[in-house]
Structure 1
Amino acid sequence: MKYFLGIDGGGTKTKFLITDDSGTIISESIQPTSHYLQAGFDGVTKVLNDGIDDCLSQANLNRNQISYCFAACAGYGDIIDDDPKIEQSAKNALQSIPFTIGNDNENALAGSLGGKPGINIIAGTGSIGMGINEHNESYRSGGWHHAFLGDEGSAYWIASNMLRLYTRQSDHRDKKTMLYSYLNEIMNWTNDSDMLRDCVVAMNYDRTQIAALAKHAYILAQKNDPAILSVYDQAAKELSDIIKAIYHTLHMEYAKVSYSGGVFSSGSYILEPLRKHLEDINIDLVEPVLPPDKGSVLLAMKYGNIEITDKLISKLKTA
């Protein structure tokens, strides 16, 4: 029996899975973010090492018994000069385990479409899209740093726009909606400037902490707040632009498009406007076959020369 390790390193958390070659999950672990711009290179090694050790301990295995690993690391491939340092950080943790490292859009794509051609859009802490066509040509779009107003349509972007609307409603540039009173109450802001105290000073406008505030946007959407509904519509438009860039660059005539990331837990508030903004291209918007962590296992098996069959996909899906 062979064992495979999948690592899904995102902007908020890093998930680890060990499976056997039939797709049975042996162990799993969740650790903090392994994005090197947040954790640092030594932090990447620590997070990966902690997660690997935890999984191996649960499974009563050692590194020499793992046939292959695919390690998805958010930020990998963004700044080419940093890639060798990320690779070394991963190697320091993986040690004797053979591995391939990639961006977290690669495992998201593999998982969401079961290893088949198409497009995946990630909208989690950040946002990025990747596609593969029938000729095995790939292209990615989006994923530019949030400091440059990138990561459009992500949880960070949604939360930032919610806070921007709060400031506009506060000083009467926009008409006040439920958004204004809700945030004052839920955040315990007695003065409007308390928003600056909490989000800019206390949180230091940290990407992960700001992104976590997107849960309040979802609550406000459920309450039909018009300002927030417009944010979701614009988020969907931004995500559709990423998808269309991939679709046209890869000269696709048809594509299955799937999705991953916490923003999509908002359900119809993001999916319905996304469908609307994609009406001018020939796609089917489909639910993901597998989540990104299982996509990492799928890629570990692929690179480890295991045939990817429908039976294997089905096993991973129900595991």
Structure 2
Amino acid sequence: MYFLGVDGGGTKTQIILADENENVIGVSFTGPTYIRSVFGDTLKKTLEEGIFFAIQNSHLKDVKIARSCFGIAGLDSPSDFAEVLKIVKSITSVRLDPHPLILNDAVCALRRGTNKGYGISIVAGTGSNCYARSKFGAETFVGGLGHTLSDEGGGYFVGLNVLHAASKSFDGRIEKTILEEMVYEEFGVLSMRDLLSKVYRDGFGKMEIARLSILCEEANEKGDAKAHEILQSAAKELVLMVKTGAKKLDMILDEFDLVCVGGSFKREHGPIRKFFEKEIKENLKRANIIYPVNEPAMGAVLIAIDRYKVLKR
């Protein structure tokens, strides 16, 4: 008996095939499936190829999926869920179950880190999102509306602030920051005006900006005050999302698991993680901070297994 889990984000998508004992038997990585930037046939092809290779990598023959769960970044409105469900059901190259679960990736992130059935997850990758669920089953989302409307605290947020800081350093609006020279070196230019032809062209967008978050961490390690300010601001935005979710569900004084996933939290002593932990411990004293060590798509796998067991009772 096999279960399929998908963790779809703005940078890449991981797909896992596992058995009923939660043993991973096939894994694949494919392109982004964030539905604000990947649509229709492209989304179908990306998912279809990823599922095919996950099954192929298991070296099993005639695999039948008992239950599948797709955790996709950017799913917010009923029309989003309906569109992705339609696309998933149109996949015929592999035998999926007739009732695939389509969820926001932040929901799967919570299950990835805890089996309690309630708590808060905060996703900080290219973008950001927060999902909260109370002991009583009430749930809410905070943020997660894409890089134009939200995504505070994620890689794009940090990268965009790096560009803004470099621009202000260039024309004198702020004191000089080494971020300016680091941006020049990154793009192979001599000034911000030379950068115009690179940033205002096709192919330069959210992903390219998000990658600049690495420069911010490097500058922070060199003692740059502006880089420190940007990273601290990102951490505070993530804390605000968590606090807001907890407040909306009356969980401020409760003990709950806080599951933190995404690139911003990967480094144990990374600046965003360090700032974030400090603020959480001061504001949500009973929150148990968890950084899952299992694979990203395991949250979706575990939900698929959970739902299958419930239906079999």
- Per the TM superposition, whether the score is higher than 0.5 is yes
State the distance in 2 between where 1:96 and 1:170 align.
56
State how far apart, in whole Å, the 1-side matches of 2:82 and 2:61 are: 26
1:238-276 CA distance string (max 9 Å, x none): 111110111111111222212001111344301222133
Residue 144 in structure 1 maps to residue 140 in structure 2: no
SS at match of 2:47: helix
Number of the residue aligned with 2:207 = 208
Partner residue, 2:199: 199
Alpha-carbon offset, residue 306 of structure 1: 7.0
What is the deviation of 1:10? 0.7
Structure with the greater relative contact order (CA < 8 A, sep ≥ 6): 1 or 2?
1
Tell me the CA shift for residue 179 of structure 1: 1.3
Q: Residues 33, 63 of structure 1: CA spacing in aligned structure 2 closer, same or farther, 3 A cutoff?
A: farther
Structure 2's unaligned 5+ residue stretches are none
- Structure 1 pair 241–291 and aligned structure 2 pair: CA distance change class (3 A): farther
Alpha-carbon distance in 2 for matches of 1:215, 1:275: 20
Q: Is the 8 A contact 2:44 2:87 kept in 1?
A: yes
Q: Is the 8 A contact 1:109 1:115 kept in 2?
A: no
In structure 2, give the amino acid aligned to 1:272: K
Q: CA contact under 8 A between 2:8 and 2:72: conserved in structure 1?
A: yes
Residue identity in the other structure for 1:40: F
3-state SS of 2:195 partner = helix
What SS does the corresponding residue of 1:251 show, helix, strand or coil? coil
- 1:164 deviates by 0.5
Q: Deviations over 1:113-170 (max 9, x none)?
A: 245421110000110011222223222111122123x100000000000111010001
- Percent identity, aligned pairs only, is 27
Match of 2:153 in 1: 153
Instruction: Give 1:105's aligned residue.
Output: 106
Aligned-pair CA distance for 1:64: 5.7
2:91 is paired with a residue whose SS is: helix
Compute the RMSD of aligned alpha carbons: 2.0
**Residue 17, structure 1, aligned to residue 13, structure 2:** no
Give runs of aligned pairs for residues 108-119 of structure 1, distance below 5 A.
108-119=109-120
Q: Greater shift after overlay, 138-147 or 181-190?
A: 181-190
**2:299 aligned with 1:295, yes or no?**
yes
Shift of 1:62: 6.1
Unaligned runs of 5+ in 1: 308-319
1:97-246 correspondence runs (5 A): 97-98=96-97, 99-148=100-149, 150-204=150-204, 206-246=205-245
| Aligned twin of 2:271 | 269
Q: Does the Cα contact within 8 Å between 1:166 and 1:180 map onto a contact in 2?
A: yes
CA gap 1:132/1:228 in 2 versus in 1, 3 angstroms = same
Conserved? CA contact 1:114–1:290, under 8 Å: no
* Residues 1:96 and 1:159: Cα distance change in structure 2 (over 3 Å): same
* Equivalence map 1:44-83=2 (5 Å): 44-61=43-60, 65-76=64-75, 78-83=76-81
- Looking at structure 2, the residues matched to 166 and 109 of structure 1 have their Cα atoms a distance apart, in angstroms, of 36
1:155/1:263 contact within 8 Å kept: yes
Q: Tell me the residue number matched to 1:281.
A: 284
- The 8 Å contact of residues 113 and 290 in structure 1, kept in 2 or not, is answered as no
Whichever residue aligns with residue 14 of structure 2, its letter is K
The AA in structure 1 aligned to 2:122 is I
Q: Contact 1:112 / 1:292 at 8 angstroms: preserved in 2?
A: no
CA contact (8 A) 1:3 1:21 kept: yes
- Spell out structure 1 runs of 4+ moving beyond 6 A: none
Distance 2:90 2:185 in 1: 47
**What is the CA–CA distance in structure 1 between the aligned matches of 2:296 and 2:258, rounded to whole Å?**
15
